Amino acid sequence: MTEEACVSRAEYQLLRPLSEGEYAALRASIVERGVLVPVELDDKGKVLDGHHRLRICRELGLKDYPTIIRPGLSEPEKRAHILTLNADRRHLSQEEKRDLARTLPGSTRQVAEKLGISPQTVMRARVPNGTPNARVKGRDGKSYPARRPAVIATNRQEERRALDAVQSGANFPAKMVGANRAVRLGREHKAELRAQEAKGDVRLGKATLLLGDMRERGAEVPDESVDLVFTDPPYPEEYLPLWSDLSALAARVLKPNGMLIAYTGAMYLPGVINGLGGLLRYWWAGAVVLDGPHSRVHARRVAQGSKQLLFFVRDAFAPSEWLEDTYQSEGEQKDGHDWQQSLGCAAYYIGKLLPKGGMVLDPFLGAGTTGRAALDRGCDFVGIENDPKAFAVAQERLRGEGSDA
């Protein structure tokens, strides 16, 4: 939001500015209790309601305050919404009430009650055809005011992220949602658009990305060509057979002194270990300590504060230097994919285990975190992914970075 958005007569300030006394009272309230009524924005970030609150925040140096973003409103709907909000808050003159009655949405009786004037005054003030007041038919056959999408943000950082999501063109439910939900919807919409452009395999300098099932596309990776398999397979029970397939692939493509490192959850850990142990040898177990609120595993009534790391080897692996088996996560990094892991963990183990020019394979590419870490290290990388959305995210993330182009 710019300084210009805070001026007293902005584009959408449809009513008179507050009097000096009203402004002073609002300022005193904000000093004492903060901004209680969210500032409202349209989907371009323009202020619909809250010009005085913004001006006071600027005067007081307040940088964070709640906002609500209203996507998808037409210009008449924006004005109707602004008038509806302010009709409840303002001490209006009779002339101002009559002016509002012309454009305020709602029935004659509803507007009369809201403004404290007679229905006859509303009827005389209103122009033919009334005001924009979208309605929908309920299951009972009756007509009701249409609900509109809205996004609530508690600070400026959330506001910026929510605006970006709204401007992505994603469809939002006709209800109030939080900024995190809005960001997720925006991310999913962008991924769908990228997936439409994903035509097939991609070569990006040192990175080769294969679109398809790892059980099929993995056959294209040459025998004994990989130094490290670093991956994050899906955790639910129905995917347990994939761990045996991963073991078979790694046993074939790893060099004799190669290693596999995989994230996994704790719920089905015995089955995961059995699957990997089919053609590989167990070497060690570690953990990634998760930052922030812990996920709740309701089936076990456990708040999960860590994620398992399993180390398996093909033959006689011998590290050249000491390894930490516990990594402290830098926090959630889900800008590309809901299951995206933080970059630091992959970067740490790739940096410790591989020389520059080594080969890294990730059969479950996801958003490309392993590939990003491998390229940053100067390694060659092969990633396999069967989800076109995730594949497109990874392709964009790795394009032009660490490549020969």
Least confident interval from 100-114, 195-209, 356-370: 100-114
Q: Which two tokens stand for residue 55?
A: 């001006």
pLDDT band at 125 (very low <50, low <70, confident <90, very high): low
Burial code (b: 16+ CB inside 10 Å, e: under 16) for 233-258 equals: bebeeeebebbbbbbbbbbbbbbeeb
pLDDT band at 9 (very low <50, low <70, confident <90, very high): very low
Above 90 in pLDDT, residue 371? yes
pLDDT band at 92 (very low <50, low <70, confident <90, very high): low
DSSP assignments along 242-296, one per residue: HHHHHHHHHHHHEEEEEEEEEEE-STTHHHHHHHHTTTSEEEEEEEEEPPSSPEE
Spatial separation of the C-alpha atoms in residues 290 and 287, rounded to whole Å: 9
Least confident interval from 129-133, 147-151, 214-218: 129-133
pLDDT of residue 376: 93
pLDDT band at 1 (very low <50, low <70, confident <90, very high): very low
pLDDT tens figures, 262-297? 999 999 999 999 999 999 999 999 999 988 778 888
The backbone torsions φ and ψ at residue 275, rounded to the nearest 5 degrees and listed phi first, read -65, -50
pLDDT tens figures, 167-199? 888 888 888 888 888 888 887 787 777 666 667
Amino acid at position 188, single letter: E
Above 80 in pLDDT, residue 140? no
Q: At what angle do helices 108-115 and 94-103 cross, to 10 degrees?
A: 150
pTM recorded for the entire structure: 0.62
pLDDT band at 99 (very low <50, low <70, confident <90, very high): low
pLDDT tens figures, 303-362? 988 999 999 999 878 888 899 999 998 755 444 444 445 789 999 999 999 988 899 999
pLDDT of residue 297: 86
Above 60 in pLDDT, residue 134? no
Above 90 in pLDDT, residue 146? no
Give the residue among 182, 144, 146, 150 at the shortest CA–CA distance from 72.
150
Amino acid at position 170, single letter: A
Above 90 in pLDDT, residue 224? yes
Does the domain at 200-398 match CATH 3.30.450.20? Answer given as no
Above 50 in pLDDT, residue 387? yes
Spatial separation of the C-alpha atoms in residues 237 and 52, rounded to whole Å: 55
Above 90 in pLDDT, residue 82? no
pLDDT of residue 326: 94
- Residue 388 and residue 200 in contact, taking contact as beta carbons nearer than 8 Å: no
> For the chain, which residues make up each domain, given as ranges?
3-194, 200-398
Which CA distances in Å does 269 have to 13, 236, 246, 275, 289? 59, 11, 15, 10, 17
Mean pLDDT of the chain: 82
pLDDT of residue 238: 96
Burial code (b: 16+ CB inside 10 Å, e: under 16) for 15-32 equals: eeebeeeeeeebbeebee
Handedness of CA 211, 217, 222, 225 (dihedral sign): positive
pLDDT of residue 378: 94
pLDDT of residue 109: 76
